[in-house]
Structure 1
Amino acid sequence: MPVPHPGGDYAITTMYSVPDDAWYLELDHIAGQRTVMTAIVPDEDPAREPTVCVDPVSGHPHIPYEVVCWSMAHVAHEIETSRA
């Protein structure tokens, strides 16, 4: 179930990819119905670093700073809990 940003325009969807042994946190722009940023947090291999990717198809989407900070706080929490 997506976690909505308090402003209501964005939400984070978290899912696990078994082939990648990693958690995917997708920042979705609700009105645009698209994923604008994806964080990948590997949890099985500590040598693999987490990464963040901005959607290359939509170019350089405008993401408010407060939304990026909110999203990265969720990513940091996922890193702490899944790699502990």
Structure 2
Amino acid sequence: MADYWDHGGVRYAIQSIYSLPDDAWCFELSRARPDPQTTQGWLPGNAVVFALVPDEDLSLEPTIHFDAKELDLPLAVLARFMEIVTAEAERCRAALLEAAVPADRNGPG
């Protein structure tokens, strides 16, 4: 599933998928393209930036990868992408830390 938004007259897409080989969420930022199967739909284009957010190992850090040959990005578009990736990284890290706490330290319940 992709989320779409417009900036400066251009529609962008952020798509997230789980990468089993990496044990990480992968977020891809692209310029959206019209869906040839519909008259109103959109599809993600080729990824310009993608981020891997590990959710199985606290020792691994999220990483960002760029494909600079695709297109230039406005700073506001990249900032929005980074906000989404940062929020997901914080969510994954919190879930891992919570899972690492022994049951007797979780308090009553």
TM bin (shorter chain)? 0.7 to 0.9
In structure 2, what residue type is equivalent to 1:39?
A
Matching residue of 2:28: 26
Q: In structure 1, what is the Cα distance between the partners aligned to 2:46 and 2:21?
A: 23
The count of corresponding residues between Structure 1 and Structure 2 is 82
Match of 1:40 among 42, 52, 61: 52
More helix by share: 2
Q: What is the TM-score of this pair, normalised by structure 1?
A: 0.86
| TM superposition score normalised by structure 2 | 0.68
Partners of 2:55 and 2:14 lie apart in 1 by: 19
Compare 59-68 and 18-27 and name the one that shifted more. Answer: 59-68
* Separation in 2, partners of 1:12, 1:62: 16
**Pairwise CA RMSD:** 1.8
8 Å contact from structure 2 (residues 4, 32) kept in 1: no
Task: Could you tell me which runs of 5 or more consecutive residues in structure 2 were left unpaired when the two chains were aligned.
Answer: 34-43, 95-109
Unaligned runs of 5+ in 1: none
How far apart are 1:5 and its partner, in Å? Answer: 2.3
| SS of the residue 1:19 aligns to | helix
The match for 1:52 is 64
Between the aligned residues of both structures, percent identity stands at: 39
**Aligned match of 1:3:** 3
- For the pair shown, the structure with the greater C-alpha radius of gyration is 2
User: CA shift at 1:28, angstroms?
Assistant: 1.3
